[in-house]
Amino acid sequence: MLSPIQFSMRTLSVYHLTRALASKASIFVKCNWQKSQLTDDEIMVRQDFDRNIIQEMGVLGFLRSTIDGYDCAGIFSLSYGLTAREVEFVDSGYRSAMSVQSSLVIHPTYAYGTETQKEINGIKIGYFVLTEPDHGSVAGMETIAKKVDGHCVFNGSKTWITNSSIADDMIVWAKNLDEDGAIRGFILERVMADIETPTLQGKMSLRPTITGTLMLDNVQVPVANMLSNIEGINCPFRCLNNTLYGICWGSLGATDTWLTQAHDYTWNIINLMIKKKLADFNTETYIGLQACLQVVKRNPTIKALEISREAHDTLGGNGVSAEYNIIRQMNNLEIVVTSEETKDMHTLILGRSITGIPAFQ
């Protein structure tokens, strides 16, 4: 019997187009596509994430492994980066789930929470709730919290939340009206009334993970659930900076997938252009690994995406086949490049650092 994480390392496949068409045609027998009627590979593609995978990552010491204490591994950041690289070799979605739990749930609780919050949060699966439907991560935040009868009452909506439907707790960022709109983090529990987490459908990237939205309608939260040791927009940004490290290393784990497959597929082809491409892939990958040591997300993620676009070309038509993993990982990297501050934002930040002139006010 395979463990959940071993099973997850199996190659993902897609539904057969003919079967999908047949289910819609009147001349064929109608099928009720319930989970029990699907193959194991088809279940994986349905974004049916097994929460036991995250729990096994915890047992293996992957989650927030740089923390010393609280049953964490207490290793160096470099070791955590190498772990992220190996996990993303399987799929970017699994590295994303690991990053969310480690850097966006456990880290803020450890850094800004009380001792009670730290002990409880370390054994639960959580998710990070910042992005809003109309405003991205921060600008124009509309989700609010206000103290009423000894509780904080929440109203608002959030979106693009990893692990939303499988998590126990969530760290929600909102404007606290009792502090002139200061941004605060609060721990909300799924069992609280009036919390809805519908899943986003039709996502073509990071397929193994569940992504959803959060609807808050007069949700009452104990005041004690507030992360009291910090306030302001710097707090969620520090969390995002923390997860960038894993993204840097992980994106180059995805390139290892293509390097391996492109090499195995073309090793006996006598073509100087293919040999040049393989040499370029390896060169750019190792330059990216050096950039990871400086926590520069912009370079490794862009290089990884560029390599993926060239790598699937070396396989010809098979480069877009689900039998090979290149196209799947390339789709994953489209969102990896965008997540946790886009490459364009990083470009503007670097430009301001170099010139001293901000691109916007």
Indicate which residue of 42, 88, 284, 340 is catalytic: 340
Give the DSSP H/E element, type plus range, for residue 185.
Answer: strand 182-189
Supply 107's token pair.
Answer: 């880290």
Look at the block and give the residue holding tokens 């490049």.
337
Provide the β-strand partners of residue 190.
Answer: none
Strands 144-148, 195-196: pairing is unpaired
Tell me if residue 341 is catalytic: no
Residue 357 backbone phi and psi in degrees, to 5: -110, 120
Q: What's at 349, amino acid-wise?
A: I
C-alpha to C-alpha distance for 184 and 267, rounded to whole angstroms: 55
**Contact call for residues 225 and 188 (beta carbons, < 8 A):** yes
Give the DSSP H/E element, type plus range, for residue 306.
Answer: helix 298-314
C-alpha to C-alpha distance for 290 and 251, rounded to whole angstroms: 13
Residue 128 CB coordination number (10 Å): 27
Q: What are the residues whose beta carbons fall under 8 Å from the beta carbon of 192, sequence distance 6 or more?
A: 219, 220, 221
Burial of 192 (0-12, 13-18, 19+ CB in 10 A): middle
Q: Which active-site residues does the annotation give?
A: 340
